[in-house]
């Protein structure tokens, strides 16, 4: 059987390049597809095509843009099962989780189709006589979009959809670990009738493809999701090359606080989901479990037992509860952090071992006896590894939760309304959850954090408009 091919999309044409294999993390010898690496010239051609197409796309009637977005979303939703299987094979996500991600991507495009019917400007009273004052919104222009490997359809969708909706043109650079999902999205966009140059996609490594986007002065803005170190590099390059606008969604070291009055089953369920589902490969994962002394031992015992009971296996097997780690490099990093945690004085109470014959499958790992100064409690691991920090009361729990350079998501499990309200007030995070996992978000609400987790306007919902448009103040005299 022939292996599917995924090529670069430039100005409505499919452009080949040096081929690279795309393999299945559950079975690394299995080819999922081949993809064509873009060279610098291909990237520049994509940027030029987007620049030529942008004025015409911005002037398209709203109904035309709505129609395109609706057709894209409808096409994605019509192929949920097919795209979910591809996503599971390419990234290692469980099939059920992959179905959810594909559905979210389709719904996102349809959501932004309808967002175009929302008010787009404001009228103000002028302080001068016979003057009309208003604020209009114009598109940012050409947007470079750089996405990570952990949500290969959902994250491109929640960036591409608002960019196109508000009249921008796009050059998408997906993570080179997951080119097939982005490749199928590109085909859907083309088949839905996107004019040439409105949506372009370039595949390959960040040091080649990403750098061309960052250093091009023909790009008006960069929307990036990825690691904090890379995000800082994105910011520097954007400022140096044209002072282009940038939006950074980066890492997290997210706390889940469990108070003595918590429902134990709810607490264990939230911790299990937030820490380990999606193999812990979520920027909103609960990688710090901050537990009050009175419930600590019962919570640890129950969570360790639940963690040991999780079934790790092929993502296409309906009995699997965790899939493989997405890459061999990520697996090595996860295991290194477990060793670091033990060396620093933490204790492994679940998981923690890995045999060569296990391939890229890793048992979820729970560490106890952690402190806020330990690397496992401070640095983002991005795998199925979580640590427990013991505290005496709510005040200490909040202090520990906020003792991080990050600030993406935070959660608390409690039956006290007072404690919940205080935590929502005091937790330094962009997303706060009560009696729910830290990893749950909805497409119509803003997504983003504080500190090292975020820079620039929020993503998703109506808040996405703040990045993809530029306010223009207009005065008219008569």
Q: Which residues are designated catalytic? A: 283
Q: Which two tokens stand for residue 190?
A: 């083309």
Please state, in angstroms and rounded to a whole number, the distance separating the CA atoms of residues 347 and 374: 12
DSSP string, 438-464: TT---TTS-B--SGGGEESSPBSGGGG
Residue 462: which of 124, 191, 245, 165 has the closest Cα?
165
Number of H helices, E strands in the chain: 14, 21
Please state, in angstroms and rounded to a whole number, the distance separating the CA atoms of residues 184 and 178: 11
How many Cβ atoms sit within 10 Å of the Cβ of residue 100?
Answer: 15
Residue 459: which of 471, 446, 444, 442 has the closest Cα?
446
Please state, in angstroms and rounded to a whole number, the distance separating the CA atoms of residues 180 and 31: 11
HEC per residue, 56-124: HHHCCCHHHHHHHHHHHHHHHHHCHHHHHHHHHHHHCCCHHHHHHHHHHHHHHHHHHHHHCCCCCCEEE
Please state, in angstroms and rounded to a whole number, the distance separating the CA atoms of residues 111 and 93: 24
Sheet holding 27-37, edge to edge: 5-6, 27-37, 18-24
Instruction: Give, as one character, the DSSP assignment of residue 312.
Output: B
Nearest-10 Cα torsion for 401, 402, 403, 408: 90
Say what angle helices 80-91 and 95-115 make with each other, to 10 degrees. 120
Dihedral pair phi/psi, residue 216, rounded to 5°: -75, 130
Q: Which two tokens stand for residue 459?
A: 């993503």
Q: How many CA atoms lie within 13 A of 323 on its CB side?
A: 27
Residue 249: which of 409, 465, 115 has the closest Cα?
409
Q: How far is CA 104 from CA 111, 189, 321, in A?
A: 10, 16, 20
């Amino acid at each position: 059987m022939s292996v599917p091919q995924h090529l670069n999309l430039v100005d409505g044409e499919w452009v080949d390049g040096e081929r690279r294999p795309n393999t299945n993390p559950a079975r690394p010898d299995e080819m999922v597809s081949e993809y064509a690496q873009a060279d610098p010239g291909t990237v520049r051609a994509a940027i030029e095509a987007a620049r030529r197409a942008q004025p015409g796309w911005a002037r398209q009637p709203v109904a035309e843009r709505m129609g395109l977005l609706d057709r894209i979303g409808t096409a994605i939703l019509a192929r949920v099962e097919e795209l979910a299987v591809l996503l599971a094979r390419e990234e290692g996500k469980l099939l059920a989780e992959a179905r959810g991600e594909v559905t979210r991507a389709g719904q996102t495009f349809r959501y932004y189709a309808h967002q175009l019917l929302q008010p787009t400007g404001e009228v103000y009273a002028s302080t001068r006589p016979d003057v009309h004052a208003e604020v209009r919104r114009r598109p940012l222009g050409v947007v470079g979009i750089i996405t990570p490997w952990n949500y290969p359809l959902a994250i491109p969708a929640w960036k591409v959809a608002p960019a196109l909706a508000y009249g921008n043109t796009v050059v998408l650079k997906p993570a080179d670990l997951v080119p097939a999902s982005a490749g199928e999205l590109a085909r859907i966009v083309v088949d839905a009738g996107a004019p040439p140059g409105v949506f372009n996609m370039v595949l390959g490594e960040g040091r080649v493809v990403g750098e061309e986007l960052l250093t091009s002065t023909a790009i008006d803005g960069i929307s990036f999701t990825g690691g904090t170190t890379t995000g800082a590099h994105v910011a520097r390059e954007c400022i140096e090359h044209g002072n282009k606008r940038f939006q950074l969604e980066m890492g997290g070291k997210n706390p889940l606080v469990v108070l003595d009055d918590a429902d134990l089953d709810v607490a264990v369920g939230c911790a299990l989901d937030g820490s380990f589902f999606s193999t812990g490969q979520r920027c909103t994962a609960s990688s710090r479990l901050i537990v009050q002394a009175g419930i600590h031992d019962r919570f640890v015992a129950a969570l360790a037992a639940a963690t040991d009971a999780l079934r790790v296996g092929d993502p296409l097997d309906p009995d699997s509860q965790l899939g493989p780690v997405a890459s061999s490099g990520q697996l090595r990093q996860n295991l290194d952090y477990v060793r670091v945690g033990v060396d620093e004085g933490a204790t492994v109470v679940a998981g923690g071992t890995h045999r060569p014959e296990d391939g890229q499958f890793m048992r979820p790992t729970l560490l106890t006896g952690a402190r806020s100064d330990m690397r496992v409690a401070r640095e983002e691991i991005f795998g199925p590894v979580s640590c427990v920090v013991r505290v005496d009361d709510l005040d200490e729990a909040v202090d520990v939760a906020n003792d991080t350079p990050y600030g993406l998501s935070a959660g608390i499990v409690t039956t006290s309304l007072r404690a919940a309200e205080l935590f929502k007030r005091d937790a330094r995070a962009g997303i706060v959850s009560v009696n729910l996992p830290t990893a749950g978000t909805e497409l119509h609400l803003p997504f983003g954090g504080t500190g090292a987790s975020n820079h620039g306007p929020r993503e998703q919902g109506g808040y996405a408009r703040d990045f993809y448009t530029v306010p223009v103040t207009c005065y008219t005299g008569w």
